[in-house]
Amino acid sequence: MLAMRFETAVQEVISRAYDVKSFRFPRPEGFTYEAGQFIMVTIRSGDNKLTKPLSISSSPTEKDHIEFTKKLTGHEFSNVLEALGIGGWAEINGPYGTFTLEGESDRLCMLSGGVGITPLRSICKYCMDTKSDVNIVLIFGNRSETNIVFGEDFEQMQGQNRNLRVILTLDEPSEDWRGETGIIDTDMIKMNVPDYFDRKFYICGPPGMVQAIASLLKSLNLPTNQIKIENFAGY
Ligand SMILES: Cc1cc2nc3c(=O)[nH]c(=O)nc-3n(C[C@H](O)[C@H](O)[C@H](O)COP(=O)(O)OP(=O)(O)OC[C@H]3O[C@@H](n4cnc5c(N)ncnc54)[C@H](O)[C@@H]3O)c2cc1C
């Protein structure tokens, strides 16, 4: 996909969790991307411009808008973004990245934590909308129920398609929680994904989590060419 640079304005802001929001923009004619790619987003802070890489959380099948979803950290970029509001100016440059479907695998296992879910939401939504035969098991870790980004979205997608199974795991669950608990480990993978050795793995999250999962998969003897990683390393 050829990268394109364009100025735009915020169309809609959607709250996803107490510290995570999605920002939607009209999708300009000619802007194409693959599910899982990211864009460079520039916003204005006084006379300065701030730029961050952000995964596209919408799917190419969603024709009317493009969306990214940002964890609001209380730092400068987050604060300026949060203050933008509808109509706020932004410049988008992209798409970039190769954290995308490759066609040769019809069984995937996705492992993610927190806001690292954004490119995986794009890929899952794309597979659902295109009624693809790709079978996906997603294990998604979060601190508590209130941190689950796109929870309803995944529930809906899972209800509509037998090819998607979502396993949620929480570090600090409430008493009513019936899902998995604790961080993603080898036992959790073996139990929930018995055919894990035949699946392509997609991992996305902050550097610490990505590193921990990569070494975990090494201990399962998964070949590195069976693992795709998107690292939200600081920028
Ligand atoms: C390919 C890719 C895709 C990504 N996709 C996403 C995504 O979909 N969603 C998402 O939320 N993130 C994503 N990220 C991460 C994102 O680009 C940001 O790096 C991250 O969210 C931090 O943003 P921030 O608002 O805290 O940035 P900043 O305001 O720049 O803060 C970043 C860090 O700089 C330091 N800092 C900032 N201001 C100060 C200050 N005044 N004094 C001291 N220290 C300071 C802090 O240590 C802070 O943690 C992605 C990263 C990559 C590489």
Q: What is the mean pLDDT of the chain?
A: 95
CA angle 221, 143, 149 (to 5 degrees): 90
Q: How confident is the model at residue 235 (pLDDT cuts 50, 70, 90)?
A: low
pTM exceeds cut of 0.85:
yes
Q: What does the pLDDT read at residue 233?
A: 87
**Alpha-carbon distance 232 to 86, whole Å?**
26
* Pocket (CB within 6 angstroms of ligand 1): 38, 52-55, 68-71, 73, 75-78, 115, 118, 230, 232-235
Least confident range from 74-78, 102-106, 187-191: namely 102-106
* Cα–Cα dist 12/86, whole Å: 6
How many Å lie between the centroid of ligand 1 and the Cα of residue 164?
A: 30
| Band of residue 6 on the pLDDT scale cut at 50, 70, 90 | very high
Model pLDDT for residues 20-67, shown as the tens digit of each residue: 999 999 999 999 999 999 999 999 999 999 999 999 999 999 999 999
Q: What is the pLDDT of residue 183?
A: 92
Q: What is the pLDDT of residues 200-230, one digit of tens each?
A: 999 999 899 999 999 999 999 999 999 999 9
In DSSP terms, 201 is beta-bridged to 109, 227
**Bridge partners of residue 177, in order along the sequence:** none
Q: What is the pLDDT of residue 165?
A: 97
